Amino acid sequence: MTPALPDVAALPDALLLLDYVGIAVFAVSGALLAAEKKQTLVTFIFFAVVTGVGGGTLRDLLISAPVFWVHTNATLLICIAAALAVWIFSRDSFAGKALLWFDAIGLAAYATYGAAKAINFGVAPVPAFAMGVMTACVGGIIRDVLAGEPSILMRPELYVTAAALASGLFVTLTLFGAAPGLAALVAGLAGFSLRGAAIARGLSLPAYDR
């Protein structure tokens, strides 16, 4: 008999909220990039959906979980609503910095939630950490590749490192017995703070120069 999969609803409400926050702000970041490229509303929606669900989709496939957006209407409706909001309210001067900050919020939230969901599905701590990083980064990578932008992986400022901090800190705190809600709050704030410092001050890791 095939064992029953863990119930995602068993995750604390604070972690489920992180999922929705990650979806929404990544969807907004995708739509903002479409705005910078002066695209049509259909492209706005497409970029919002791809950015909002890309990382989580790959995560769920790898941990053998039901793909999170297939059996609910809410996820795609959030992405569509985000695209419509950007279409209605964005301005040329708004999109540039907003894209970075919305992406930073989504990065921290999704890295934390991705690690939490992996742990809930019985994934070992190190792969769970990797799932958090993947959840946070893959949507943005797909977004940039489709838009013909330099991939976030190729930019000098801290990005994947911030996702790794959030994901790794959540896994570590959980292993030491911290409550999931508290671990998520600390990890998410740490990841966002590091990414925010990178945006504001241009922090980066040293590049290979040999």
- Per-residue confidence at 204, pLDDT binned at 50, 70, 90? confident
Q: Distance from CA of residue 64 to its chain's centroid?
A: 19
Measured over the CA atoms of residue 33, residue 83, residue 55 and residue 179, the dihedral's sign is: positive
For the segment 70-88, the average pLDDT, to the nearest whole number, is 93
Please check the confidence at residue 5 and state whether its pLDDT lies above 60.
Answer: no
- Per-residue confidence at 3, pLDDT binned at 50, 70, 90? very low
- Between 171 and 7, residue with greater pLDDT: 171
First to last CA, the chain: 56
The 10s digit of each residue's pLDDT in 81-139 is 999 998 988 555 455 577 788 788 889 989 999 999 999 999 999 999 999 999 999 99
Please check the confidence at residue 156 and state whether its pLDDT lies above 90.
Answer: no
Which tokens go with 136? 């946070």
Question: What is the pLDDT, as a whole number, of residue 52?
Answer: 94
DSSP string computed for 44-90: HHHHHHHHHHHHHHHHHHHTTPPPTTTT-SHHHHHHHHHHHHHHHH-
For the segment 62-78, the average pLDDT, to the nearest whole number, is 93
Please check the confidence at residue 140 and state whether its pLDDT lies above 60.
Answer: yes
Place of tokens 């740490």: 190
Place of tokens 């705005």: 35
For the segment 170-180, the average pLDDT, to the nearest whole number, is 93
| Residues 120, 45: Cα–Cα separation, whole Å | 31
For the segment 58-83, the average pLDDT, to the nearest whole number, is 94
Please check the confidence at residue 19 and state whether its pLDDT lies above 90.
Answer: no
Averaged pLDDT of the chain: 86
